[in-house]
Amino acid sequence: MKSDLLNFKRLLFLLLVFAIGACSQKKQPFANLQFDILIKNGKILDGSGEQSYEADILIHRDTIAYIGKVDAKEITVTQVIDAKGKVVTPGFIDAHAHGDPFETGEFKNFLAMGVTTICLGQDGNSPMEAMDSWLAKLEQEQLGVNIAMFVGHGTLRKLAGINFKKNPTATQLKQQQKLLQEALDQGLFGMTTGLEYTPGIFATDEELLPLAKIIGNKNGLIMSHVRNEDDDQLENSIQELLRQGEHCKVQVSHMKSVYGKGANRGKELLTLLESNRNINYTVTADAYPYNASYTGIGIVFPAWAKPPHDYKEVVKTRRSELLAFLKQKIIARNGPEATLFGTMPYAGKTLAQLSQEQNLPYEQILLGMGPNRASGAYFIMDDALQETILAHPSVMVSSDGSPTMRHPRGYGTFAKIIEEYVRKRKTFSLAEAVRKMTSLPAATIGIQKRGLLKVGYYGDLLIFDPARIKANATYEYPHQLASGFDWILLNGEVVWKEGKLMERKGQVLRKQLIAD
């Protein structure tokens, strides 16, 4: 009852706000009204991709109440922020992020680079429990950013008893579909797949297409770590996702080509996405501005050496074959110097350094390590190709990072986009960069009333001087916060000021449900 009353009061206020917005701005139409924050003298980049314009912004509670010229003498306002010489943008949305909100819930790494909303549940992995109870617990946490959840396909396989099976029973498939439907009914934004990892690697069209139909019925999205990112297999992997895209929106996660070279190859891959768009569902991608990936060392091991296979038995019976595979795989991935470990006790060392220190061939180092004992950064991407992908209008920005990962992308991605790709390379304009980090992910994912600066939208805003934005994280020191975002507002409140976390005001976001 109390919640209904609050919602009714908010509705009345929004109706007043829209009425105000419809009035002429020649004379300020809201004398004697109370507002929480006035942002004055800023240049507005509203997230649409259009160029900036000068205007003031009024915030009431969690909502943008007015955008236009404001005479501060004629209103009552609690706090005034002078944005002279700065731009005002929507808060950035990280389409593909990692982290445990119960362990590192302040997510300071994301806030420091302007991210106010992150999407979790990636690469086929989400919590191994009912989403209604998990979300209810999460809503009791003090979160530094908003969280939009996806359900993981690999998790659904485990919960349905399918796990490592290639051919699930009809009963298991029905249970998997039921679990997906329940997750979507809880307001999750779609499903993620990790088809290069177990257990997702065992899934076929017979399993994935019915799931895509359920997601399409809810206007949801499939985000996919596709089956194989090697250049000679990437087109087949994308085609597999596009078959799902006949039934729902689909997105290539952290789009990259391992071994691919040159801008022309990037254009070929983007053309494949473009040629398969249809009138019903969108085909998009996300990417990060670094040329090293980061994942478990299992990525270099063959499927027959990973679960459900017994690794000890594989080493015993197929040792020579495994050593030969590992050697050739590392050669293909730019050699042992291109693998930089990020987990103890190997953190900060390359595979080449470990080989030298232990006086063993690098393939034997990996054999002894096994596929589950380490993670690392892999320098396997081509700069010209990746920049071509990043520049495409349908490609949004993601970090694929976390607070704990030893990779600079978790602390620097969104700042680097401005510092490197806007200021230095001039790959795209600041207005386009902001669109790729705000309205494009919001519209694609289905995050309501965020991603644009508009009256009636939530007050997730950034205030900064683009010339001062800097990504400080490096591969050597990956956990250095980005700098330059002077003010960050989240749900209408100041949560970041001049490099300091002020409050935690993040919320658990749920997708607005539609009828089947």
The total number of residues written for the chain in this structure: 516
Characterise 107 by phi-psi region: left (phi > 0), alpha (psi -120 to 50), beta (else). left
What is the C-alpha to C-alpha distance for residues 118 and 322, in angstroms, rounded to an integer? Answer: 39
What is the C-alpha to C-alpha distance for residues 67 and 455, in angstroms, rounded to an integer? Answer: 7
Q: State which residues of the chain have pLDDT below 50.
A: 1-6, 8-9, 11, 20-27, 514-516
DSSP-derived secondary structure for 37-105: EEEEEEEE--SSSPPPEEEEEEEETTEEEEEE---GGGSEEEEEEE-TT-EEEEPEEESS----TTTST
pLDDT tens string 115-125: 999 999 999 99
Is cis: bond before 466, omega within 30 of 0? no
Q: pLDDT value at position 27? A: 47
Domains of the chain from N-terminus onward: 92-291+382-452 (3.20.20.140), 295-378 (no CATH)
DSSP state of 345: T
Q: pLDDT value at position 238? A: 96
Describe the chain by its helix, strand, coil percentages, rounded to 5.
40, 20, 40
C-alpha angle 74-78-83 in degrees, rounded to nearest 5: 85
Buried b (16+ CB within 10 A) or exposed e, 321-340: ebbebbbeebeebeebebbb
Q: pLDDT value at position 274? A: 85
Mean predicted lDDT score pLDDT of the chain: 92
Q: To which residue do tokens 């070929």 refer?
A: 268
What count of other Cβ atoms lies within 10 Å of the Cβ of residue 278?
A: 10
DSSP-derived secondary structure for 184-224: HHTT--EEEEETTSTTGGG--HHHHHHHHHHHHHTT-EEEE
Q: pLDDT value at position 10? A: 55
Q: pLDDT value at position 74? A: 85
Q: pLDDT value at position 25? A: 38
- In the chain the first and final C-alpha atoms are separated, in Å, by 28
Consecutive H or E run containing 35? strand 34-44
pLDDT tens string 186-200: 999 999 999 999 999
Buried b (16+ CB within 10 A) or exposed e, 456-477: ebbbbbbbbebeebbbbbeeee
What count of other Cβ atoms lies within 10 Å of the Cβ of residue 504?
A: 18
Q: Which two tokens stand for residue 433?
A: 């960069």
What is the C-alpha to C-alpha distance for residues 180 and 220, in angstroms, rounded to an integer? Answer: 11
- Predicted TM-score (pTM) of the model is 0.91
What count of other Cβ atoms lies within 10 Å of the Cβ of residue 88?
A: 26
